Amino acid sequence: MLKSLPYIALFLTNFTFVATAANNESNVMIPAFTAQYSILHSGKTVGEATRQLSYLDNGLAQYSYHTDIEWLIFSDTREETSIVKLEGNKVIPTHYEYTREGTGSDKHYKWRYDIDKNSAVNELKDRKKTIKFPDNIQDSLSYHLQHRLNMMTSPAQEHFVYPVIKTSGSIKNYVYQYDGEEDLMLPYGLVKTIRLKREVIEKKRVTYAWFAPELNFLLVKLHQIKGDVDQFEAQLKSVANESPVTLEAQANP
């Protein structure tokens, strides 16, 4: 049972959605927010997670995700931050940093991206890579924002594919498919949700993700299964400053 716990934090910090930026006549803006989650293993709470979005004075946005898990002799703390530029409904990653401490090996990655110049710089090793970025390339966290924007502007879309650049510099596609609708009772309360499914056949892993339209398609629950064994579950506890906002509304208060 213990060896399955790293999947909790690993997946929570790398859960990946993707699709090209949705075309819509109005530009939609995700308001700044802080969301708190409970992380469960075998039905018991083993940690917490925080997802936060803020807007910087330089016009960029900062998106962060923090997880803290303690279970028996296992501990795991992870911090992930993405700095992005927003152009209409398109998310463009510029900086990405990831740290992990606890049981096992510690990890630290820090990258800077120049998408227009096909450049990726490993800032910790002072190494530059030339990468031919596909359209709508995302880092391991920024895809969350792109996915929410896509769902907000095209709620009927049922298939999502996002190219994500990993910490190694390689690019991998993640595919999610519409899997129905469901009313969920969470620590946050009762919410109506849309459920997506991702299946990785070679790893015998299935992941379900629930998003709440009434919360601007915020991720409210995750459940991962590997083989016939439940790996973890994450449930929304609270969210602050989450309300619909459009760029037009900001320009015309």
**Does residue 253 sit within a domain?**
no
- Average confidence (pLDDT) over 85-91: 93
Say if 249 falls within a structural domain.
Answer: no
Q: Is residue 166 part of a domain?
A: yes
Output the CA angle 113-162-145, nearest 5 degrees: 70
Q: Which is nearest to 170 in space by CA: 137, 211, 126, 197?
A: 137
Average pLDDT over residues 141-146: 91
- Spatial separation of the C-alpha atoms in residues 65 and 29, rounded to whole Å: 19
| Model pLDDT, residue 184 | 97
Question: pLDDT class for 215, splitting at 50, 70, 90?
Answer: very high
Residue 54 lies in a domain: yes
Domain assignment of residue 250, yes or no: no
Alpha-carbon distance of 148 to 29, in angstroms, equals 10
The string of pLDDT tens digits covering residues 25-72 is: 467 888 999 999 999 988 899 999 999 999 999 999 999 999 999 988
Tens-digit pLDDT profile for residues 154-189: 888 999 998 999 998 899 888 889 999 999 999 999
- Tell me if 122 is assigned to some domain: yes
**Taking the alpha carbons of 95, 86, 192, 157 in that order, is the dihedral positive or negative?**
negative
Cβ contacts of residue 60 below 8 Å, gap of 6+? 83, 84, 85, 86, 94
Q: Which amino acid belongs to residue 108?
A: H
What confidence score (pLDDT) does residue 175 get? 83
3-state SS class at 242: coil
Q: Which strand (E) or helix (H) includes residue 210?
A: strand 205-212
Domain count, the chain: 1
Residue 225 lies in a domain: yes
- How confident is the model over 196-215, as a mean pLDDT? 89
pLDDT greater than 90 at residue 6:
no
**Which position has the higher pLDDT, 26 or 226?**
226
What is the torsional sign of CA 67, 71, 73, 74? negative
Determine the residue type at 172: K
Range of the domain at 202: 2-238
